[in-house]
Amino acid sequence: MSQYRMERLGQAIQEKISSLILEGWIKDNRVSSFLSITKVNVSKDLSFADVYVSDIRGKSMEKGVEGLQSAAGFIQSQLGASMHIRKIPHLRFYADTSIGDSFDLIKKIEKVVADDESK
């Protein structure tokens, strides 16, 4: 399958899962509307999709990831109902800390620049 098609499929999965979260279809208490899907990587054989989750509030995302992983079967059934592909990938959810790490790096850089200017 072409790389372009894999990227489009990943984007479609990302949009569908995001809408399920925002519209409140996932009833697990650990899944809040502050969770956002940052990236989806689909394997070449469509057997797995790695879904990266971030929390807008910057809080611990582990509970939200656990909630999404427990609702993976429901999410896959919703993907199967809305997407017209032969095989729906098995979903694996991971916490994405890259946004928080970026803010920490920016703060460190600003501190170094401020310390350098004060000398």
Could you list the beta-strand ranges (E) of the chain: 35-42, 48-55, 90-95
Enumerate the domain spans of the chain.
Answer: 3-118
Kindly state the average pLDDT of the residues 89-103: 86
Q: Answer yes or no: is pLDDT of 114 > 90.
A: no
- Tell me yes or no: is domain 3-118 CATH 3.40.190.10: no
User: Quick one: pLDDT at residue 58?
Assistant: 66
Residue from 92, 87, 114, 101 nearest 6 by CA:
87
Which tens digits make up the pLDDT trace of 32-59?
888 999 999 999 988 999 999 998 776 6
Q: Find all residues with CB under 8 Å of 46, minimum gap 6, and list them.
A: 1, 9, 85, 87, 89
Give me the residue label for tokens 């920490």.
Answer: 104
Q: pTM of the entire structure? A: 0.81
Q: How far apart are CA 98 and CA 54, in angstroms?
A: 8
